[in-house]
């Protein structure tokens, strides 16, 4: 198969990559753009480790073909730590929401989408939002603590949502 040119915006930067039609978004982010913060745990949509935002919506990048993202805006875990660490990232570290850390970027990206939609979620709403993400270390309790702490902090500060650099 021949490569096609994928043009999209990743973490606020224009990117042009020649990709095979069967390449996933996860593989292009990790292998072509060196954004290895996005993890691949199962490569079949069962663990949520590879969650990124495509046009503001959380998606499993292992189940998304790269060429489906033509012209979209992608946000990965790396974008949340530009200039300032995102409250979710700090909260996951401080509340013990991350142990081995492999699932953490996916959990944070999914939580980030939740808080953009719902700045004051109940624990049940957090559970529901994170139901597709698998953590083998924490038993989830401290992840919920982290999301609640970050939500409180974001509300208190009325902190701006993580907008990437303008193109």
Partner 1 sequence: MPTISGSGETKNEHQLNKGVWTDNGAPAAAGFSVIGKRVPLKDAYRKVTGEGVYADDMKFPGMLYSRILHAEKAHAKIKRIDTSKAEALPGVRAVVTGNDAANRFGVLPVSQDELSMAREKVIYNGEPVAAVAADTEEIAAEAIWLIDVEYEPLEEFLKPRDSLKDVSPELQIHDKVEKKHPNTNIHKAVDQEFGDVEGAFKQAEAIVSAEFKFDGISHGFTEPHAIVAHWDADDRLQLYTPQQVPHYTHRALAKVLELPMHRIQVIRTMVGGGFGGKSDPFQHEMIASLLSMKTRRPVKLTMDREETFLTGRGRHPTEGKLAMAFDKEGKLTALDSDIIIDGGAYGSFGVVSAYYNGVLSNGPYWMPAFRYHGKRVYSNRIPSGAMRGHGSVNPRFCTETLMDMAAVKLGLDPCELRLRNFLPSNTLTPYHKFRITSNGIREGLAEAMRRSEWKKKWGKLPYGHGIGVGCAWYISGSALPIHWNKLPQSTVHIKIDMDGGVTVHSLAAEIGQGSDTMLAQCVAEVIGCSLERVHVKSTTTDTAPIDLGSYSSRVTFMAGNAARKAAESIRAQLAAAASRLTGQPAQYFDFAGEEVICRSKPDVRVTFMEALHGAQADIGALIASGSYQAPPLGTTFKGSNAGLSPSYSFSAFICELKVDPDTGFVQPLKIWAAHDCGRALNPLAVEGQIEGSVHMGLGQALTEQLRYRGAQLLNGNFLDYKIPTPFDTPEIEAIIVESADPEGPFGAKECGEGALAPIIPAVGNAIYDAVGVRMFEVPMTPDRVLRAIDAKKRAETKGE
Radius of gyration of the chain (CA): 16
Establish if 111 lies at the interface with partner 1 (CB under 8 A): no
Q: Give whichever of 71 and 139 is closer to partner 1, judged by the CB atom.
A: 139
Nearest to 145 by CA among 107, 112, 86, 97: 97
Q: Which residues pair with 24 in a beta bridge?
A: 65
Establish if 90 lies at the interface with partner 1 (CB under 8 A): yes
Structure tokens at 18: 């020649």
Q: Give whichever of 43 and 116 is closer to partner 1, judged by the CB atom.
A: 43
Is residue 32 within 8 Å of 10, Cβ to Cβ?
no
Give the separation between CA 132 and CA 110, rounded to whole angstroms.
Answer: 9
Establish if 113 lies at the interface with partner 1 (CB under 8 A): no
Among 47, 67, 147, 151, binds partner 1 (CB under 8 A): 47
- Positions touching partner 1 (CB under 8 A) are 30, 34-44, 46-47, 49, 76-78, 80-81, 84-85, 88-96, 98-105, 108, 127-128, 130-142, 145, 149, 153
């Amino acid at each position: 198969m021949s490569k096609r040119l994928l043009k999209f915006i990743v973490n606020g930067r224009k990117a042009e990559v020649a990709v095979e039609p069967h390449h996933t978004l996860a593989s292009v982010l990790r292998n072509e753009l060196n954004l290895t913060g996005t993890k691949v745990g199962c490569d079949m949509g069962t663990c949520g480790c590879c969650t990124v935002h495509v046009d503001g919506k959380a998606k499993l990048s292992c189940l998304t073909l790269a060429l489906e993202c033509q012209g979209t805006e992608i946000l990965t875990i790396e974008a949340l730590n530009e200039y300032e660490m995102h409250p979710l990232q700090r909260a996951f570290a401080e509340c013990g929401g991350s142990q081995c850390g492999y699932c953490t970027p996916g959990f944070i990206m999914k939580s980030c989408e939740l808080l953009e939609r719902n700045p004051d979620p109940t624990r049940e709403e957090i559970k529901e939002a994170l139901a597709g993400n698998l953590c083998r270390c924490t038993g989830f309790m401290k992840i919920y603590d982290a999301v609640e702490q970050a939500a409180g902090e974001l509300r208190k500060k009325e902190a701006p949502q993580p907008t990437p650099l303008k193109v």
